[in-house]
Chains A and B, each alone.
Chain A
Amino acid sequence: MAVTTTPKLDAHKLRADFPVFEQPIHGKPLAFLDSAVTSQKPRQVLDAMRDFYATSYSNVHRGVYTLSERATEGYEGAREKVRAFLNASSTREVIFTRQATEALNLVAYAWGLDNLGPGDLALVTELEHHSNFVPWQQIARRTGADFRMLPIDDLGELRMDLLDEVAGDAPVKVVAANLVSNSLGTINPIERLAAWAHERGAIMVVDAAQAAPHRRIDVQTLGADFVAFSSHKMCGPTGAGVLWGRRELLEAMSPFNYGGSMIRSVKVEETLWNELPYKFEAGTPAIAEAYGLGVAIDYLEAVGLEAIEQHEHELAEHALERLAELPFVTVYGPPPDRRVGLVSFNVEGVHPHDVAQVLDWEGIAIRAGHHCCQPLMTRLGVAATNRASFYLYTIPDEIDRLVEGLRKVKDVLG
C-alpha cells in the first residue's frame, strides 16, 4: 500500500504571519474561532496589496501606459492563479465577482431566467446557506418553476436515498448544494449529487465558500457545472469572489450586469457582448482585491491545502472530544471524518448570544446565530446555535480555552 505523507502544518509558526493575534482582547490573547464567517489576513497579503496600490495601480484593460499594463498583469495573473487553484481548463471559465453570493446570484439570474419554466424543478438542500437557497427560490417563483428541498438526516447529512422521491417525475433543471455546510461542517457528496443531476438532465451548482479555503477542489473531477467561492474566507481580502463555470454554459448565457468592459460593440439598434470571461465582468472590477486573492492562493499553496485539511481534521477531532466532556453541551453534525474544522453546538438553557458574549470576555470569538440557514435551524428545532470554526492558524489550546469558557457560561447563566 502506498503511503502518502503530508508535511504537517505548524500553526504556532503560521500565527506569526497574522498581525491580528498581536493584540489582546479584553486583556486575553485572541482565540479567533470564527474563521467560517471570514478568515484573518496574513501579512503577505496585506503587504502585497499595499505595494500593488503604491506601485502598480490603475484601471485594467484600458490604458496603454505602464501602470495600466501592470494593473492588468496583476489582475489577469490572479485569474491564472485561480484557474490553477481549481484545475480549470481555461481562464475563460474564471469570472471575478464580489463574493460567492454574487456568483450564485449570477447563475440564478443569468442561467435561471432563461432556462427555468413552469413545471421545471429547482432542487436545493436543507443545508444551504441563504445565498444558495433564496436566489433559486425567487427565480423559481418568477419563472413558475417548482422549488424543493432535499432533507438531511439527524447527523446533518443529505438524504441521498430520497433524491428520486423528492424529485418525483418533475423535469429537474438545476440542483444547488454546498460542498461543505457552513452550519454543521458536513462534507457533501457532490460527485454523487452531480451524477444524479446529470442523469436527470439538470445542471449542478456548487457553493464552495466553505470548502475552497480548507481542501483541494478539482473542477475537472468534481462533476459540478458551476462553482462559487469568496476570497475573504481564504486569507484574501473582501470584495472579491469567483464563479467558475463550464465554458459552453457560460457562452450560451446572457450577461448578468450590463456596462463597460462587457461589450464588444454598442449601437443604438444592438449591442454585442464581449468574450468570456469579460462578458460577466461589467464595470471596473475589484482590481487590488482580485490581486490580493491571487496572493492568498500563493500563501495557501505554500502551506499546502492537504496539510490544512489534515490540521483542521485533527482540530475537529480534538474539539468533539473535549466538548463531549461537557454534559450540558449538545453538538450537532456528523462524525469528524465527514466534517471540516467546524463545530456547531448549544449550551443547555443558555441562548447562543449569551454564550458568545461571555466567551468574548475571555478573548474567544465564536459565532452565535442562525448562520443564514433558517430552514436548517427549523430542522434542528433551535432558533440559533453557537459555532466554533477553525483554520490554519488555530491551535488546540484555543479549543481548550473554549471548553473552559463554556464551563464559565454554565456557571453564570445556566
Chain B
Amino acid sequence: MSEFDQLYREVILDHYKNPRGHGVMEDADAEAEGQNPLCGDEVSIYVAFGEDGDTIDDVMFSGRGCAISQAATSMLTEMVKGRKASEVAGMPKEELLEEIGIPLTPVRLKCAILGLTTLRLALHKGKGTPLPEGLAELEDLELR
C-alpha cells in the first residue's frame, strides 16, 4: 500500500464521509470550541454526562475542517463514549493516533489532535478541574 493510500485509507474516508456523533447538542453538560489557526479548521465538542456526573453518556461534534481532523474527531467520539470523563480528560494523544493508524506529518498531526484537545478542554471546563499546561493556553486564545 502506498503512503498515499494509507493516508486516505478506507476507514478514514468512511469516518470523513459518514461522521459519527456529528451535530450540535442542546443543553450539553460540557462543551468547548477549538481552532487550528494554521488551516482554519474549527470544531465544537458537546458532552452529556451520565447520572454519576462522570461517565460520558454521549458526545457530539460540529464544525468544518479537513478529512483528517473530521475523521479523527469522529473516531474519537466512538472511542470515549461510556468512559469516565476524569480519565478521558487526561487521555494522551498517542491513544488516538494509534487508532487513526496512519503516518502523519507534523502539520497534519495538528489536524488529527484538534478534536481531542477540544474534548479535553470541554471536560476540564465541564468538571471545573484546573486546565493542565497546554490547554490553559488554548483557553486564553478563546477569550481574546
Residues of chain A having any CB pair with chain B under 8 Å: 26, 350-354, 357-358, 361, 368-370, 374, 377, 383-384, 412-413
Chain B residues numbered 77-104 whose CB sits less than 8 Å from any CB in chain A: none
Query: CA of A358 to CA of B4 in the docked complex: distance in angstroms?
Result: 8
Neighbouring A residues of B41 by C-beta, 8 Å: 351, 353, 383
Q: Is the CB of A369 within 8 A of B13?
A: no
Q: Is the CB of A351 within 8 A of B64?
A: yes
Known: A361-B4, A413-B13. A353 touches B68 (CB 8 A): yes
Q: Is the CB of A383 within 8 A of B67?
A: no
Top-6 shortest CB links A-B: A383-B40, A353-B66, A351-B66, A384-B40, A361-B4, A354-B67
Query: CA of A26 to CA of B70 in the docked complex: distance in angstroms?
Result: 26
Query: CA of A351 to CA of B68 in the docked complex: distance in angstroms?
Result: 10
Chain B residues numbered 32-46 whose CB sits less than 8 Å from any CB in chain A: 38-42
Q: Is the CB of B111 within 8 A of A412?
A: no
Chain B residues numbered 56-78 whose CB sits less than 8 Å from any CB in chain A: 64-68, 70
Q: Is the CB of B8 within 8 A of A412?
A: yes
Query: CA of A412 to CA of B8 in the docked complex: distance in angstroms?
Result: 8
Known: A369-B38, A370-B40. A351 touches B4 (CB 8 A): no
Neighbouring A residues of B2 by C-beta, 8 Å: 361
Residue of A nearest to B38 (CB): A369
Q: Is the CB of A353 within 8 A of B111?
A: yes
Query: CA of A370 to CA of B39 in the docked complex: distance in angstroms?
Result: 6
Neighbouring B residues of A354 by C-beta, 8 Å: 8, 66-68
Q: Is B7 an interface residue (CB 8 A)?
A: yes
Known: A412-B8, A413-B8, A413-B67. A357 touches B40 (CB 8 A): no
Question: Could you name 10 residue pairs across A and B whose Cβ atoms are closer than 8 Å?
Answer: A26-B4, A351-B39, A352-B66, A357-B7, A358-B4, A368-B39, A370-B40, A383-B39, A383-B41, A412-B8
Q: Is B108 an interface residue (CB 8 A)?
A: yes
Known: A412-B8, A413-B8, A413-B13. A351 touches B67 (CB 8 A): yes
Extra A-B contacts (12), CB below 8 Å, given A353-B39, A353-B67, A354-B8: A351-B70, A353-B111, A354-B66, A357-B7, A357-B66, A358-B4, A358-B8, A361-B3, A369-B38, A383-B65, A413-B13, A413-B16
